Every structure is written in structure tokens, then in C-alpha cells.
Amino acid sequence: EIVMTQSPATLSVSPGERATLSCRASQSVSSNLAWYQQKPGQAPRLLIYGASTRATGIPARFSGSGSGTEFTLTISSLQSEDFAVYYCQQYETFGQGTKVEIK
Amino acid sequence: EVQLVESGGGLVQPGGSLRLSCAASGFTFSDHYMDWVRQAPGKGLEWVGRTRNKANSYTTEYAASVKGRFTISRDDSKNSLYLQMNSLKTEDTAVYYCARGIADGDGDNWFDPWGQGTLVTVSS
């Protein structure tokens, strides 16, 4: 079973700054990785699939990169609505999440 | 608009049973894999299981934590997905989401969209 490890657990960022979230797979998953955003009391929303393809309607400030075992989600300039928990996912396995909070 | 709406959650005693439903609209339900994902209070996301489409013989897969206790089924004529949960344990307490599973044929899959979730509480 592949294990997905996200870091950091919590990221404190000021509005307008860049946020960089990491996801590591315990073995190579090629480019088979998705990212989701979840706000309190809401369902997760797909942001990125195929490691780097933005889902429909996702703003360009969200970008994904990486392949193999190391992946990154970058939010170029944090907006107030971006403060949330972010999960990576490979097949049936989710990372434990990174909470992006206001600094 | 693609939409998924879960129902059927509630309070159940340990050892009891519950059936969740997920009503789909806005897309050709029969073409798609469908998944259940759960989230315990204050915790992360845990995949529960999947039903594939008719073209893939409606095969199912389950997480080890629910295998043998939970059963996923679907009724394409009603655009509906179901999760029959038996022998419930306190650790099954969670919000249960249904999600459309998308597979690209090259080993990648993702979930989009998700329903709003339904809360299942297992407690005496």
C-alpha cells in the first residue's frame, strides 16, 4: 500500500504571499496525483489532477508540479478564500492534509 | 449542473445497520465509477470503496477497514448509489461523501464532484 505524506501539517501565510505545500509518496506514482481543497463544513473540491492539470473553474494561482514521489501544490498569491485544508490523493490513498491558516 | 446528494445518515447503535443513498444528476451516471469517502470528526479523508460502471462489470473494491461489513451498490435506472453498512462500530462515525470517480485509463483516478456529505454517528 502506498503511503502519502504531506508537509507541513500547518502553514501560516499572510494574504498575498505564496504558499508551497508538499506531498510525498512512499513509492513512485508517476504523475497520478490529485489535490483537493476543503473548507470548514464543506465537501472537498478538486483542484488539480494528473499532478499538474487544473480542474475546471480553478483559478490560475493554483498550480501543481512533480512526478514520481515528490509533488508540490503552489498558491501564488493567497486570497482570503484560500485559507483551508488541502489534501493530496493517489488512487485510494489520501495524505493527512495541510492546513493553510492566516498568519 | 453536476450534482450529488447524499441521504440516510443518522444515529445508530454499535452492531447496527444503516443504508446511505446518493442521488446523482447532471451527468450520465451509468458511464461512471462511483466512490464513497468518509471523514471522521476532525480527521482526514478515508476512501471507503468504489463501484465501477457496467462496462467494467460493476465490480467493487473496499477499504480493508470496511471489507465484509459494507456493501456498495448502484441503480443506474435511478441514477443512484448506495452504501449498506452492517456491523457498525464506533470508529465508523464520520461524514460519508459520495463522489464521482474519474479514471484516465493510465492508472490515474480522481474524485469530482463530491456530494455535501451525510453524518453517521455510531454510539450507544
pLDDT digits (tens, 9 = 90+) for B49-90: 999 999 999 999 999 999 999 999 999 999 999 999 999 999
Give CA–CA dist A95/A27, Å, rounded: 14
Taking residues A26-44, what's their average pLDDT? 96
Asked if A72 and A65 touch (Cβ cutoff 8 Å), the reply is yes
Q: What single-letter amino acid sits at A44?
A: P
In angstroms, the CA B113 to CA A57 distance is: 12
A46-58: b (≥16 Cβ within 10 Å) or e: bbbbbbbebbeeb
pLDDT of residue B103: 84
A62-90 mean pLDDT = 97
> What is the predicted pLDDT for the residue at A24?
98
* Contact assignment for A43 to B109 by CB distance below 8 Å: no
Nearest to A74 by CA among A6, A20, A8: A20
Specify the residue for cell string 506514482.
Answer: A29
**pLDDT surpassing 90 at residue B105:** no
Average pLDDT over residues B37-50: 98
Q: Which of B44, B63, B107 is opposite residue A97, by nearest beta carbon?
A: B44
Query: Is B111 in Cβ contact with A46 (below 8 Å)?
Result: yes
